[in-house]
Amino acid sequence: MQLDKVYEPQRFEPVWAQRWIDSKLYEATPELGKPYFSLVIPPPNVTGQLHIGHMLDHTLIDMAVRWHRMLGENTLWVPGTDRAGIATQLMVERELAKTGLSRHDLGREAFLEKVWEWKEIYQKRIHDQMKRLGSSCDWSRERFTMDEGLSRAVRECFVRLYEKGLIYQGAYMVNWCPRCQTALSDLESIHEPTPGFLWHIQYPVVGHPGRFLTVATTRPETMLGDTAVAINAKDERYLDLHGGKVLLPLMDREIPIILDDIADPEFGTGVVKITPAHDPNDFAAGKRHNLPSIRVINEAALITEAGGIYAGMERFDARKRIVMDLEELGALVKVEPYTVNMVTCQRCRTIVEPLVSKQWWVKIQPLADKAIHAVESGAIQFVPASWSATYFQWMYNIRDWCVSRQLWWGHRIPAWHCKNCKEITVSREDPTECGTCGSVDIEQDPDVLDTWFSSGLFPFSTLGWPDDTLDLRSFYPTTLMVTGFDILFFWVARMIMLGLELTDQVPFRYVHLHGLVRDADRQKMSKTKGNVVDPIVINDKYGTDAVRLSLVLGAASGRDIAFTEDRIEAARNFANKLWNATRFIFMNMERSGVEPKVPAESAAPRFEDRWIQSRLQATIESMNSSLANHRYHEAAQTIWHFLWDDFCDWYLEVKKLRFTADSGLNDDWRALLTTFETGLRLLHPIMPFITEEISNRLDPDQSISLKKYPDASFAKADPAADREMDLLKEVVAAMRNVRQERKVELKLVLNATLKSDIPLDREVIESLAKVQFVEGATGVSWPGAGFDLVVALPEVSPEAIEAQRTKLRKEIEQLDKVIASHESQLSNETFVSKVPEKVLNGMREKLAAYKIQRQKAQDALDALG
Ligand SMILES: [Zn+2]
Ligand SMILES: [Zn+2]
């Protein structure tokens, strides 16, 4: 039954991971009406491999799942992967570019074949990595957002929303990435203040020679598409120009002067140029005043034919030319530095072009209302609760959701345009003719759906929706969603809205939002910074259990995690400690002739048994309550403290004294083994591998992961035993202090007399503290709370005492010098005024420490007489 001599998790972790899968341990059986715990994975994108953030997701989820399974609930964790949209297509396009080809060279079908090939490779890689992590998910239910069932769910969702009037097609202003050639949602674009310029341009007023209106713009190239200038009706400077016109420079086009509040008399000249085709605010103003919209920049960011002599120029080249031409014309009044709100594509960082284009939209308000109510009513709870405020703020200000993307990779929009009557046919089955006029001259919309449209259905599409499956009835609504706060709006909010709309139920009851994993300096991990931690490399080095433990310990709710190798090393040391303790126990079991199994229960417990049971009881209560409240880091701290400090450092040290060869299965063994095995079960959800490896030696027939999680009935609180152990620990600590202060060798047994308030097991203290209790010892008196200790110190030769005296005097002399120099510096006003407060505080702390050290040396010298 012996364990390997050295803790080498690399030897047994992959073996267990595979064995759990082979024996289908975590495959769930749907059962109506049975208490269940279910959740779906935040599906990783098939764009690469798992990163450390995924590992945090998986660790927290697996902890919750293993705990609930051990509580006896019908437990299901659905694994899967997401197609992702732009990200995946970009990766494949980049690969293709290496061979000098673009997706257009290949054509839609051939290109999609390439993406599917890519997906197969990366999905398999992610799948293998997840298996290695020991995630206890149900692999028989693994899903991909573009597999047949999930695609049918997407189509059903689109058709239903369309039929309810919640999906429409319309021309609106979108953020367009000229590189990715697609519309981006607000969430897919990055807004950041960037230094730029404000160009002031004079527009001559028609019929008022010598009179100009001056506009200021951060994007002079858009002036080519101006269709009005706006002034405020209350602006007295321009009262006489109401109903007038200006001449657009460079284009020589007359455009009206309109009255609109978009022009603020207090800001700049109070005149605003209006370009409805290229600015969201101007787009709205254009609608208000029925202005024409002239598109002067196209999807490739080139100036269109409507841009006159600038047609065909790249937008920023055109800007330079236009500024030069304005200058030559004398129309450029001023250029000043100005901070602009730069919008870039989140994927490729190309500067976004606001364009008016025809897109598909989800009318979001009716969906958002239900989603707000679900959180207000407590049907869905956020952990930590503070996230609900952020959620409400976003939901109250939500705008219609642009769901079409001009990509090839994704769910194609199930809408067919009729070339004959121009009507649209939206259908669950591919139509062969127009639903309005019956013409066969119809063509499917070329766009695909936003990737969050399909992942937003994940909690129920994976369970068989839209069919009324047994899985859906047994496991839906799911219980919990665990994910990073960074995708609260991208994903969590969409799941809530779509779940409520389509299933009339919340998709999950709890949302646990964890922080991001950062590096040791709390910097965000990124490939460019080179501080990315590869979970597979780190798992191979330290073992998955240790990485899991260190991640959980760092994951205090809501806070980001500083991930350092020191912490993983500490977690590995914990595993190592448990390993060595186990080896020690197993060795002594063999020596005592104890069978390798856990006995039923113990009788006649000793004080240490009653104490460890009491500690166990507190630990069990605390663990269950922490896990129930999603305070995973707390649970990890609790079990660490119990196994390391209570069990290994005290209980096992006392129990060592009870081990005898050939004792057989006595009460000591019964108590120790039941406690030990209960501790393993408590630890299992956090460190599944080491606990399975050890538990297997005691019970090869059943996986620890299917055993019952300890509850309050497993142990008994015993305040008397707690007091007794506390006092015993203090006496042992006092003996150790005496030894240290008087520099007495550790192995030397000292005579002592002990009086204590309650009777203590003296044999145990004698053995742990290397002491022999006698009547009436004389020497150092060492009183403590609840006890009186007198320790007889060993005889020391006069020469040794004198040597010690000399040493102490020298120490005092040196300390006096250092103290004097610190004091003089700190009382020197010039010095104090020049040195930073931080440094001064450091000096003050040091000074205090030197003074304490000096006092101790003086005391020791006085004690020598
Ligand atoms: Zn882009
Ligand atoms: Zn038609």
3-state SS track over 322-369: HHHHHHHHCCEEEEEEEEEEEEEECCCCCECEEEEEEEEEECCHHHHH
Looking at all shown ligands, the one closest to residue 431's CA atom is 2
Tokens (6 digits) for 247:
């001449």
3-state helix, strand, coil in the chain (%, to 5): 50, 20, 35
The whole-model pTM stands at 0.82
d(CA 291, CA 622): 67
311: left (phi over 0), alpha (psi -120 to 50) or beta: beta
**For residue 346, which ligand has an atom nearest its CA?**
1
What is the CA(415)–ligand 2 centre distance, in A? 12
Under 8 Å between Cβ of 217 and 206:
no
pLDDT at 557: 65
CA of 435 to the centre of ligand 2 (A): 7
- Which bound ligand lies closest to the C-alpha atom of 178? 1
**Distances in Å between the alpha carbon of 297 and those of 65, 178, 229, 316, 517?**
53, 10, 20, 11, 41
How far the first Cα of the chain sits from its last, in Å, is 59
In DSSP notation, 382-450 reads EESTTHHHHHHHHHHT---EE-EES-SSSPBP-EEEETTT--EEE-SS--SS-TTT--S-EEE---EE-
Which tokens in the block code for residue 690?
A: 């080491």
Distance between Cα 85 and ligand 1 center (Å) = 12
CA neighbor of 66 nearest in space, from 783, 733, 576, 688: 688
Which has the closest alpha carbon to 750: 724, 778, 725?
A: 778
Centroid of ligand 1 to alpha carbon of 775 (angstroms): 86
* CA nearest neighbour of 729 among 753, 755, 751, 761: 761
Protein residues with C-beta less than 5 angstroms from the ion ligand 1: 177, 179-180, 345, 347-348, 350
- Residue 813, CA distances (Å) to 157, 468, 516, 535, 853 in order: 84, 87, 53, 54, 12
Mean pLDDT, consecutive 10-residue stretches, the chain (865 aa), reads 90 96 96 95 86 91 98 97 84 88 90 92 89 93 94 97 96 88 80 93 94 94 96 91 93 94 88 94 91 94 94 95 94 93 89 91 96 97 94 92 91 96 95 95 95 96 96 97 90 97 97 88 76 86 96 83 89 97 95 86 84 96 96 96 97 93 89 95 98 96 96 88 95 90 83 92 93 89 89 81 89 95 91 88 93 90 79
Which ligand is located closest to the Cα atom of residue 344?
1
Measured from the alpha carbon of residue 434, the closest ligand is: 2
Distance, CA of 405 to CA of 450 (rounded, Å) = 6
Which amino acid, residue 781? S
> What is the C-alpha to C-alpha distance for residues 847 and 849, in angstroms, rounded to an integer?
5
CA of 346 to the centre of ligand 1 (A): 7
Q: Determine the distance separating the centroid of ligand 2 and the alpha carbon of 163, expressed in angstroms.
A: 18
Closest-lying ligand to the alpha carbon of 180? 1
Residue 740 one-letter amino acid: Q
Cis before 719 (ω within 30): no
Ligand nearest to the CA of 440: 2
User: Residue 803: its pLDDT value, please?
Assistant: 87
Residue that the structure tokens 């407060």 belong to? 837
Which numbered ligand comes closest to the C-alpha of 443?
A: 2
What angle, rounded to 10 degrees, do the helices at 52-70 and 632-641 form? 70
pLDDT of residue 406: 86
Do 575 and 7 meet the contact criterion of CB atoms below 8 Å apart? yes
Centre of ligand 1 from the C-alpha of residue 4, in Å = 53
pLDDT at 187: 67
CA 532 to chain centre: 15
Centre a 10 Å sphere on the Cβ of residue 812 and count the other Cβ atoms it contains.
Answer: 16
Q: Give the CA-trace dihedral at 778, 782, 787, 789, to 10 degrees.
A: -30
How far is ligand 2, taken at its centre, from the CA of residue 159, in Å?
18
Instruction: Give the number of whichever ligand sits closest to the CA of residue 352.
Output: 1
Closest ligand to residue 423's CA: 2
Q: Which ligand is nearest to the CA of 442?
A: 2
Calpha distance 90→436 (Å, rounded): 38
- Asked if 501 and 401 touch (Cβ cutoff 8 Å), the reply is no
Q: Contact 431/416 with Cβ under 8 angstroms?
A: yes
Q: Which ligand is nearest to the CA of 419?
A: 2
Q: Look-up: residue for tokens 């269109």?
A: 304
Contact, 244 vs 206, CB < 8 A? yes
Q: Separation of 810 CA from ligand 2 center, angstroms?
A: 104
* Ligand 2 centroid from CA 152, angstroms: 25
